[in-house]
Structure 1
Amino acid sequence: MILVTGGTGLVGSHLLYHLSLKNDNIRAIYRTDSSLEKVKKVFSFYTDDATFFSKIEWFQADITQVPAMIPAFVGVKHVYHCAAFISFNQKDYREMRKVNIHGTEIIVNLSVDAKVEKLCFVSSIAAVGKSLDDNLIDEECEWNKELDNSGYSITKFGAEMEVWRASQEGVEVIIVNPGVILGSGFWNAGSGKLFSQVYNGFKYYTEGITGFVAVQDVVKPMIQLMNSTVKNERFILVSENKSFKEIFFLIADGFGKKRPSIKIKPWQTAIFWRFSWLVSKITGIAPLITKYSAKSAHSVSKYSSEKIKNTINYEFEPVDKSIERVCENYPKE
């Protein structure tokens, strides 16, 4: 039996489809019935055959609640831990610690108790350290707790520490650190917002650089690594390092829309995130931009995926092709 947490999220839903191609015993955690419709929509991007979705045994539970999670591990040999709380709003820090660190602690403890053979954890490049000599960032770059890290970065690093503990208690582990994930089906969250904004005429861009990767190039290596003899390793998953300007332009071209034309400078976002923070304090509404999302929009971080390429001979899809496919799946009016 394969167990997938976060089965109704971007990575989890695409992972479930690819797992269903060759596996019949799949159990996935979900929170609400409405979230299952999103998974069905993701499956529809791949196939009209409903038998793939019907292979999944859906298990309703909260990963932070031990009693509810214990039955989910019955008969489980492989665990894909995709569940996470993603936010750059410091107001969400406590909840992120609860889900990302404490939730992972529970998954690890139950995996050890159930004698799970192998655990794959979806981390993030946010939990990878910076390069000290301006070379590409790789798996050997150590995360520095002394830096001004975002709450999300802190909690993903904390979750990784829990997973490494599993490797010391008899469970083989794989950690993947994807870049910004480009995928279809979740248009109001994560990178899906980039597509929605550009489609609706977003005019602004920044020139910060980071790593981008298609969701298919996250889940396929996960499955390959879990079915291999590789164990107790972490892998950065990035197809290409590109600027947000390049990404916005590719998305606009994919939609046949006008490219964003107004460059936003660091001092402008510095003013805007402070103003947004003040408005949020007064109204209680989540800020449009935060200190850390503003910082990431301008920072330059370039990543290497040589380790995963060399380990399983994996080739990533070019980012322009990934964006073209996502644009084709976008629900146009």
Structure 2
Amino acid sequence: MILVTGATGILGRVIVLQLLKQGKSVVAAKRKSSNIGEVKNSYKFYTDSPESFFEKIKWVDVDFDDMFSLQNALKGIEEVYHCAATVSFHPADQRKMYHTNIEGTKNLLFACEGSGVKKFCFVSSIAVLDGVNEKGETDESSDYNLKLDHSAYAVSKHFSEMEVWRAAAEGLNTVIVNPGIIIGSGNWTQSSGLIFENLARPYTFSGGASYVDVRDVARASIELMDKNIFGERFILISENKRYFEVGSYVRQKLGLAAPKIIPSVLLMVGRVLNFLFGWLFSPLRMVDKVNTESVTTFSTVSNNKIVETLGFKFIPVSESINFHLGNYRTDKKSLKK
């Protein structure tokens, strides 16, 4: 039996569905307040039999601060996909992210000790990778540099990874995947689900990012576990794209004009205003050094390792956007009725 944490998230739900399609038994961990009806609704985009697959899921409420709750969820479990995390780039969410992402991962791994868990897949992020290889690309050897400034999210994922490596050193079969920006369907008002709300805005930034379809992240993660490839990390990205290119493509599909690039000088002004008034106006705190640098830089991230290891073929970003943007528009229309 397999446990998937963060099963109501944009990735966790797809991993659950992919495992069910393989005929496997899945326990899906969620918060008590989670909306599983929204997960069921999103399954209509991924399968012709959303209800039949949804009914096969065994849902369990998990409190990552309660060891008994974790141990109870792990009863009969042999494999774990740990997708649960808080994702935010607002400094005000730092303490919450550290607690949820680091302590939550630490507690889950501790609960795995003495249980029947034999395999553990941890979903991290390319945000933890620093530096480039001889080709000028970021790859799996680009280790986290403690001397550099990082977002609280990147810090939380780095120290979560350290907990996973510790567990690996103690004998647990672990693999880490580092996705880029995930393009998926559902959960439209939270976390990664906000991607189309953000891309549809009339303004964008001069930098860029690495994108990947949620179906590819799920498929690669499961394949790595099924093939018993452990003790390594794998970057999961399809393509590196500038924000302007992706934003223009989305807005074109929506019948809108291309976005305007925010001048760097305005971001510098924003940083000054953050320094002076960030304590008073919370939104200004987003305009800090780390965030402004991240949206004005464009680094090339390599997916060579996963491609060579699994012969993996990624869904092109344009195809991914066409599929999920169509789903986004469908849901938005149904909500207006």
Give aligned pairs, total: 330
Paired residues for 1:183-198 under 5 Å:
183-198=184-199
Question: In the alignment, is residue 16 of structure 1 matched against residue 1 of structure 2?
Answer: no
Superposition deviation, residue 58 in structure 1: 0.5
Amino acid across the alignment from 1:139: E
Which residue does 2:257 correspond to in 1? 258
In terms of mean alpha carbon deviation, does 35-44 or 313-322 score higher?
35-44
- Residue 270 of structure 1 corresponds to 268
Given residue 157 of structure 1, which amino acid in structure 2 is its aligned partner? H
2:30 is the counterpart of 1:30: yes
Q: Name the structure 1 match of 2:240.
A: 241
Q: Determine the C-alpha separation between the residues in 1 that align with 2:14 and 2:271.
A: 33
Tell me how far 1:111 sits from its aligned partner.
1.6
Q: CA deviation at 1:22?
A: 1.3
Aligned to 1:158: 159
Find the counterpart in structure 2 of residue 69 from structure 1. Answer: 70
Aligned equivalents of 2:195, 2:72: Cα separation in 1:
38
The answer on whether the counterparts of 1:64 and 1:98 sit within 8 Å (CA) in structure 2 is no
Counterparts of 1:192 and 1:281, CA distance in 2: 28
Structure 2 CA distance for partners of 1:219 and 1:69, relative to 1, 3 Å? same
Please tell me whether residue 293 in structure 1 is matched to residue 291 in structure 2. yes
Shift, 1:63, TM fit = 1.8
Q: 2:41 matched to which residue of 1?
A: 41
User: Which digits, 9 at most, give the CA deviation of each residue in 1:122-154, with x for residues without a partner?
Assistant: 000011122166611100111101101111111
Q: Does 1:216 align with 2:215?
A: yes
Scaled by the length of structure 2, what TM-score is found? 0.91
Structure 2 letter corresponding to 1:82: C
**Which moves more between the two structures, 166-175 or 187-196?**
187-196
Spell out, residue by residue over 1:185-241, the C-alpha distance to the aligned partner (whole angstroms, 9 max, x if none). 122234433412444xx2212221221111111110001011003111100001001
Structure 1 Cα separation of the partners of residues 31 and 284 of structure 2: 23
Instruction: Kindly provide the amino acid, as one letter, of the partner of residue 112 in structure 1.
Output: E
Q: For residue 148 of structure 2, give the secondary structure of its aligned residue in structure 1.
A: coil
Point out where structure 2 has 5 or more consecutive residues left out of the alignment: none
**Counterpart of 2:57?**
56
| Between 287-296 and 304-313, the greater mean CA deviation after superposition | 287-296
- What residue identity is the alignment partner of 1:54? E
Q: Determine if contact 1:88/1:290 at 8 Å carries over to the other structure.
A: no
Q: CA deviation at 1:318?
A: 0.6
Partner Cα distance (2:54, 2:127) in 1: 32
| CA 193–270 in structure 1, closer or farther in 2 if over 3 Å, else same | farther
Aligned-partner residue type, residue 13 of structure 1? R
Query: For 1:84 and 1:322, how far apart are their aligned partners in 2?
Result: 23
Question: Equivalents in 2 of 1:122, 1:109: separation in Å?
Answer: 17
Other structure's SS at 2:11 match: helix
The answer (yes or no) to whether the contact 2:91–2:286 under 8 Å persists in 1 is no
**Matched residues in 1 for 2:18 and 2:272: separation?**
42
Native 8 Å contact 1:82 1:121 kept in 2: yes
Larger deviation, residues 34-43 vs 121-130: 34-43
Q: Which residue of 2 aligns with 1:181?
A: 182
- 1:274 deviation in Å? 4.8
1:327 paired residue among 312, 325, 328:
325
What is the aligned-residue RMSD (CA, Å)?
Answer: 2.0
User: In 1, are the aligned partners of 2:71 and 2:112 still within 8 Å (CA)?
Assistant: no
Q: Report the CA distance shift for 1:250/1:285 in structure 2 as closer, same or farther (over 3 A).
A: closer
The CA deviation at 1:295 is 2.2
C-alpha contact (below 8 Å) 1:88/1:292 kept by paired residues: no
User: Per the alignment, in what secondary structure is the counterpart of residue 10 of structure 1?
Assistant: coil
Provide the rounded CA distance (Å) in 1 between the counterparts of 2:164 and 2:34. 30
Match of 2:144 in 1: 143
Contact 2:131 2:138 in 1 (8 A): yes
Partners of 2:169 and 2:96 in 1: CA distance: 27
Question: Where does structure 1 lack aligned partners over 5 or more consecutive residues?
Answer: none
Alignment CA distance shift 1:259-1:3 (3 Å): same
TM-score, with length taken from structure 1: 0.93
Calculate percent identity across the aligned residue pairs.
36
Pick one of 314, 317, 326 that aligns with 1:316. Answer: 314
The answer on whether the counterparts of 2:149 and 2:290 sit within 8 Å (CA) in structure 1 is no
| Change in CA separation of 1:291 and 1:53 when aligned onto 2, cut-off 3 Å | farther
Q: Distance in 1 between matches of 2:187 and 2:284?
A: 19
Deviations 1:271-299 (A, max 9, x none): 22553676663255685655433221111
Match of 1:89 in 2: 90
1:113 alignment partner, SS class: coil
Deviates more, 1:175-184 or 1:277-286: 277-286
